[in-house]
């Protein structure tokens, strides 16, 4: 019986381990010229979905090391995904609405 238990146990541990490190998805809504989160911490490998629920266009971006990106034009009702594969932290902003600011940390 012992020789059958080892492969079963190894399979279970492997499956549990891969589940523990699965990447997550987080949604940040843009509404009333604000981000739904003022600060957010996510894990390396996670994805942020930026959802524009405003009646006007946004241009969400970051120039911070490790989290730099630019969505360019994001029209009302559109969603855009960004996967963060590196650690870093900094500010996310909208190029059209300077009051829109959010702090992101990727660990």
- Cβ neighbours for 40, distance < 8 A, ≥ 6 positions apart: 26, 28, 48, 102, 103, 104, 105
Q: Which residue segments constitute the domains of the chain, with CATH numbers given?
A: 23-106 (2.60.40.420)
pLDDT in tens, 15-26: 444 444 567 999
Q: Hey, how many other C-beta atoms are within 10 angstroms of the C-beta on 26?
A: 15
Segment 89-105 shows an average pLDDT of 97
Residue 10 pLDDT: 47
Would the pLDDT of 61 be above 50?
Answer: yes
- Model-level pTM greater than 0.85? no
Q: What CA–CA distance (Å, rounded) separates 105 from 39?
A: 8
**Can you give the C-alpha Rg of the chain in angstroms?**
19
């Amino acid at each position: 019986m012992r020789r059958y238990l080892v492969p079963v146990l190894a399979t279970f541990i492997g499956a549990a381990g891969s589940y523990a490190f699965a990447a997550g998805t987080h949604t940040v809504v843009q509404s009333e010229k604000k981000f739904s989160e003022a600060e957010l911490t996510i894990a390396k490998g996670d994805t942020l979905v930026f959802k524009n629920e405003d009646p006007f266009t946004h241009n969400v971006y970051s120039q911070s090391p490790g989290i730099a990106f630019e969505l360019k034009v994001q029209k009302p009702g559109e969603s855009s995904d960004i996967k963060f594969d590196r650690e870093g932290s900094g500010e996310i902003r909208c190029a059209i609405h300077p009051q829109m600011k959010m702090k992101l940390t990727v660990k």
